[in-house]
Structure 1
């Protein structure tokens, strides 16, 4: 009887395999993932080498980008509008930033909509990303810092948890 129960339990587990997170073949890091531009200018190329044609030039240091693929020292990136291409990894940083998507984003002193407002950011502002939990992220830009809802930011995954 006990053997049949174990076999039934294992059969049920095999019928619903765990969802495997896709990881990059070079770094082993999750795909997609977010990074920021280390350089003040970066060429996004048609393919993963310096001989490929430049399709796009990013000109904003610290701009968040989404890595969707990797090959050798090259990362295929996209901006919030989907534009991009292959960039050399030396132009990218693991330090996370976000872009404000909302027209006017209130930063709260605590991750609570009833908390006092610490600052207000305009759409398009690039901010440093801190801790995230339960749909809120700590962000900082210049002297302003506070907590914002993740759905008002591009460069962070909904439900992402960061320490």
Structure 2
């Protein structure tokens, strides 16, 4: 009898954990594709443990334009994941449909700078070198290359091309117009 009760308790815990990953009640928000990439609209976005202001703030993002991936929706709340795998819920009004991406946020150590080319060709002229984690504004992607814009030194904008596989914020082979 004790083994059965223990087994039921374990089953209940694992079912509860699975439900926590899904929108409560299964109600969706926009009907837009999930998953999809968006960006943070403001410099201060609370990441909550659940889809309401009653849930504890687990993290505070402080970087407007940061790309995040929407992985679930519930009414006006979106469950998001950042490039490091951190997940939680944010209010939809704190998100923007503007597409941004991070240049190779997974790169560690003595990684050489990431080249931004003047054409979608790695033999073309390099217009800038990017450090890992730089936010780029996506102007378009053809599935292999993305045309991006970055602001250098807080003043001038640089426009160029980067291989799509070097970005976090666009899916492999995704076309962005």
TM-score range, shorter chain: 0.7 to 0.9
Please say if 1:108 is aligned against 2:108: no
Aligned to 2:162: 148
Please say if 1:118 is aligned against 2:132: no
Query: For 1:10-35, what per-residue CA distance to the aligned partner results, in whole angstroms no more than 9, with x for missing partners?
Result: xxxxxxxxxxxxxx932111111000
SS of 2:127's equivalent in the other structure is strand
Q: TM-score, normalised by structure 2?
A: 0.76
**Matched-pair contact (CA < 8 Å) for 1:119–1:145:** no
Aligned to 2:59: 56
Unaligned runs of 5+ in 1: 1-23
CA RMSD of aligned residues (A): 1.2
Structure 1: distance between partners of 2:70 and 2:126: 33
SS of 1:90's equivalent in the other structure is helix
**Matched-pair contact (CA < 8 Å) for 2:29–2:77:** no
**Matched-pair contact (CA < 8 Å) for 1:107–1:119:** yes
**Matched-pair contact (CA < 8 Å) for 1:56–1:84:** no
User: Cα distance, 1:84 vs. partner?
Assistant: 2.6
Structure 2: distance between partners of 1:134 and 1:154: 13
Query: For 1:63-107, what per-residue CA distance to the aligned partner results, in whole angstroms no more than 9, with x for missing partners?
Result: 000000000000000100111300000100000111111541111
**Matched-pair contact (CA < 8 Å) for 2:101–2:168:** yes
Q: TM-score, normalised by structure 1?
A: 0.82
Please say if 1:93 is aligned against 2:96: yes
Write the mapping of 1:39-54 to structure 2, written as runs, cut at 5 A.
39-54=42-57
Structure 1: distance between partners of 2:29 and 2:64: 25
User: Cα distance, 1:134 vs. partner?
Assistant: 3.5
Q: Between Structure 1 and Structure 2, how many residues are aligned?
A: 140
